[in-house]
Structure 1
Amino acid sequence: MIEKKQKFLAGWEIYFENIETAIAFLKTHGVDKEGFMFFKEAQKALEFEIEGNKLIKGYKHHNDIKELVWENVNLPISDWTDHKVFLMEKDPKGTHRIGGSIPQKLILPKHSELSAKFQYIGTLDCTDPYFNWINMNELHIVFPVNECYGGVYLDYSNPLKPQLIEDLTDPDDWYESIDEGIQTEYSQVNFKTTNVLDVSKFNQREALLCGVPLWYQFPHVPKCPISNEPMRFICSIESDKDIRAVNNERNEILIFEDMGHLMLFYNPVTKILFANVEH
């Protein structure tokens, strides 16, 4: 007898006609009931009734509205991991930090066609149980804030010397920078992880989303260029008016394009990170 089960997904934009992107969505956006409740209030979420690899009924939820969207659809995979949704909220005693001085031994990436320098964005404490799957003590986040909005792949084989994978970064996608050669330092704000999923804090940019991505544009789950598998989501770093440049008047605050957010994905086996701006 085929087992019946209920599965939940964060977000709603899945198109079964495209098998590759559908598989990436399922593998990245599977959540437990708590994550489902958060996403259906913060944005939208899906509830699936499944038998084997058949989607018997698929519902889209937004707040208290429940809409039947699919019936009797063949799924490209029959099971996937349910990821834990959690937040990072501002806390002076938190072990994660956005902004602050560049760690002494960290060497920032460079590229001959890049106008703006890579900037130090912050550091995640990967001894935190929520992030220990990353398999390094600290993840130093770097990104050329005024360029490469389409994303960059970085090799973290040496956590203190991340290397830009140049042949996977399209220079035509890069924006002309007004801050050529400037190394910006941002004021430091500390964060702590929490499993209390406070939608109002998230909406007010007082907390960063971790575990499962929330897309404002069409979902684009990156594939690891080595394993060819969908990469695991780490967190989103928001543009933040409280994180101010301390040595660059033109960059008054930490801002990604038009108050967007920096999305981070990682493969702990290949040690490849993908970072891109979404808004």
Structure 2
Amino acid sequence: MTKEHFYISENSLDFTGDSYYEEIIETQITNQETLIELGRGTEIVFENEKLIEVYEYYEDNRDIYRRKREIAPNELNYRKPIYQPKSILKSIISTSGLHQIGGDFSDDFYRPSEKISTSFQYLGYINNEDPTFSWLPYKLHLTYPIYLAAEILFLDYSDNKKPKLFNLDELLKCSPILDEVDINSEISFIPQNFNFQPSNNYCLEINSGIPNWIQGHYIPKCPKSGKRMQFVCQIYNGSQTEKSNIVPASDWNKNYFEKMEFFGADLYIFIEPESNIVCMFTQGT
């Protein structure tokens, strides 16, 4: 019988059917080339529908190794995954790109009206005219309070031109990260169009397809429907600043206002398409 191989871009997995690990496997299932390029991951091998081998990939001194590990007794009955392999999608700047990073609020998309301690910034949009994102219910315009010390943000896009804060009470307790930023601060970023293209590794700008977790796997649940949310993309670096009324408190602080970035972290963006709830949070080292 032919052996079937499956590749997951995470290590230290448990193949018992536990829901936590199944969520990771479904989210991170990919191809062998991606594991080799990333220098991490797990390969599982089936024969006659039975799990027969498990290998872990790891990097040491820039060399990639594939090491067999024992199958635990409680993993022997693990059924082969039914999930479709995914590819990393990395951003490529293109004047004809369907998606946009940067820009500003307009009649197509308004800043959230609720008042918190800092202002919201416009980040760009992910366009559902791209067949890869046809599952999105609309062109998804993105906004986030970059300079707010918030753990997690939920926005209700029931009116997708005028999103409302869903967890307002939590955000009202959050303070600005920098003293020179407040509710009247304005900063916008140069608009740049881009496309996504399949890749075996992540870029340093915008990625989609498979999340690149920095502080551990976390798929949010929608606070409105209770359903698991779907990964849209993550942003590490955006475009340069176009205009701003913020006066940096020091030469060092100028760095935080020269381009779209999240204090060295990645911004993760998820949506629950039926409830129209969007979730955003950061992970960093």
TM-score over 0.5 (shorter chain): yes
Q: Does 1:260 align with 2:260?
A: no
Partner of 1:130: 132
Partner of 1:67: 67
- Does 162-171 or 243-252 show the bigger shift? 162-171
- Cα distance, 1:13–1:180 mapped onto 2, change above 3 Å: farther
| Distance in 2 separating the partners of 1:236 and 1:87 | 10
Partner of 2:93: 90
Q: For residues 92-130 of structure 1, what are the alpha-carbon distances to aligned partners after superposition, in whole Å with 9 as ceiling and x for unaligned? A: 221211111223232222444x31112111111110111
User: How far did residue 69 of structure 1 move?
Assistant: 3.8
Q: Alignment RMSD, CA only?
A: 3.1
User: How far did residue 77 of structure 1 move?
Assistant: 8.5
Calculate percent identity across the aligned residue pairs.
22
Partner of 1:184: 187
- Cα distance, 1:103–1:40 mapped onto 2, change above 3 Å: farther
Partner of 1:7: 6
User: How far did residue 24 of structure 1 move?
Assistant: 2.0
| Distance in 2 separating the partners of 1:7 and 1:168 | 43
| Distance in 1 separating the partners of 2:136 and 2:66 | 36
| Distance in 2 separating the partners of 1:101 and 1:65 | 46
| Distance in 2 separating the partners of 1:39 and 1:263 | 22
Partner of 1:155: 156
- Preserved contact between residue 239 and residue 260 of structure 1 (Cα < 8 Å): no
Partner of 1:239: 237
Tell me, which stretches of 5 or more residues in structure 2 are unaligned?
249-256
- Preserved contact between residue 23 and residue 77 of structure 1 (Cα < 8 Å): no
Partner of 1:79: 82
User: How far did residue 78 of structure 1 move?
Assistant: 4.9
Partner of 1:269: 274
| Distance in 2 separating the partners of 1:61 and 1:46 | 6
Tell me, which stretches of 5 or more residues in structure 1 are unaligned?
none
The AA in structure 2 aligned to 1:252 is: E
- Preserved contact between residue 59 and residue 69 of structure 1 (Cα < 8 Å): yes
User: How far did residue 148 of structure 1 move?
Assistant: 4.6
| Distance in 1 separating the partners of 2:68 and 2:226 | 33
How many residue pairs end up in the alignment?
Answer: 266
Partner of 2:25: 26
User: How far did residue 52 of structure 1 move?
Assistant: 8.7
- Preserved contact between residue 57 and residue 71 of structure 1 (Cα < 8 Å): yes
